């Protein structure tokens, strides 16, 4: 199944030396050489380079080494082609796509997950500047917020990836969060107590929603009051009207650009239902608005 020219080429490269030569200087090959040629052909069809084949035949590499290396390359190529297909689909979904659209999406789709994590870590460092954030909280923030683009992304995930990168590089967004972090990490915060209070409030709200309780009813008011008192205690603040206003501002912020960030993360993670969490915090915010101290 190989041409004479190809066999001579392999021979000249030292991959297939003849077992013997005839009186007329023709190359003579044995059955073992035919098996060697079959191996070379299989490796070439799998995309393995001649240099790697030479090292394998000289037994400086094992077959497992060669095939593993080729598989890694092949899977990377497949992933790159899938990503390019997703970029093309995302671009074609735009009305009247232009050169800049393709260039922007393609550039961002080729940002690796490691590069995006580095971008997020730099962003967290910027917004934590001036805030007394503990290292454990910072690490948890990164772990729960870092975007990851799947190997075989959908067009929606390519767009989400691009938008998230833009948000992490947006200075106005960074300044907004920096101010929020400075107010939250005021030096009096007990982060563990705040986290536990948040979890208790969230679970209580989920139970109340499942029981069809109103945020303005007795149960809703009890949950809101407990959350206000416990969160104030954890932050070293007084559960008064000013602290309520801080909560309302936090909710507005979380529903704004931070809410958009969470939505984009959900798209990348393939989460089809993120409404439960949003509904819980919306319910709690309504309950806080109904507290007597929140009324004008």
Per-position DSSP letters for 86-122, written without gaps between them? HHHHHHHHSSS--HHHHHHHHHHHTS-HHHHHHHHHH
In Å, what is the CA distance from 232 to each residue of 49, 167, 201, 229? Answer: 66, 30, 13, 5
Query: Any alpha helices (H) in the chain, and if so which ranges?
Result: 4-12, 31-45, 50-57, 63-93, 99-109, 113-127, 135-145, 155-168, 171-184, 191-210, 218-235, 241-255, 257-269, 275-289
User: What local confidence, expressed as pLDDT, does residue 193 receive?
Assistant: 92
- Give the per-residue pLDDT at 269: 85
Note the pLDDT of residue 201: 94
CA atoms within 13 A on the CB side of 296: 0
Calpha distance 265→278 (Å, rounded): 14
CA torsion through residues 195, 196, 197, 198, sign: positive
Please state whether the predicted TM-score (pTM) of the whole model is above 0.75: no
Residues of the chain with pLDDT under 50: none
Q: What pLDDT, on a 0 to 100 scale, did the predictor assign at position 198?
A: 92
pLDDT at 71: 83
Which pLDDT score is estimated for 231? 93
Q: Looking at residue 200, what is its pLDDT?
A: 94
């Amino acid at each position: 199944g190989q041409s004479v020219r190809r066999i001579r080429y392999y021979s000249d490269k030292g991959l297939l030396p003849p077992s013997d030569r005839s009186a007329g200087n023709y190359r003579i090959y044995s059955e073992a050489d035919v098996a060697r040629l079959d191996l070379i052909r299989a490796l070439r069809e799998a995309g393995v380079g001649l240099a790697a084949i030479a090292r394998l035949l000289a037994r400086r590499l094992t077959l497992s080494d060669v095939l593993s290396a080729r598989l890694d390359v092949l899977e990377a190529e497949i992933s790159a082609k899938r990503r390019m297909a997703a970029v093309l689909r995302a671009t074609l979904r735009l009305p009247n796509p232009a050169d800049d659209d393709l260039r922007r999406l393609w550039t961002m789709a080729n940002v690796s997950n490691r590069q995006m994590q580095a971008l997020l870590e730099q962003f967290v460092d910027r917004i934590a500047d001036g805030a007394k954030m503990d290292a454990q909280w910072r690490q948890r923030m990164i772990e729960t917020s870092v975007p990851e683009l799947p190997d075989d992304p959908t067009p929606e995930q390519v767009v989400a990836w691009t938008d998230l990168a833009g948000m992490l590089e947006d200075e106005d967004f960074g300044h907004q969060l920096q101010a929020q972090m400075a107010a939250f990490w005021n030096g009096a915060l007990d982060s563990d107590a705040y986290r536990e209070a948040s979890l208790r409030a969230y679970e209580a709200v989920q139970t109340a929603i499942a029981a069809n309780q109103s945020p303005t009813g007795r149960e809703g008011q009890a949950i809101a009051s407990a959350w206000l008192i416990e969160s104030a205690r954890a932050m070293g603040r007084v559960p008064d009207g000013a602290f309520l206003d801080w909560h309302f501002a936090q909710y507005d912020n979380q529903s704004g650009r931070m809410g958009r960030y969470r939505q984009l993360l959900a798209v990348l993670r393939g989460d089809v239902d993120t409404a439960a969490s949003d509904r819980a915090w919306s319910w709690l915010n309504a309950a806080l608005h109904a507290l007597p101290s929140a009324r004008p």
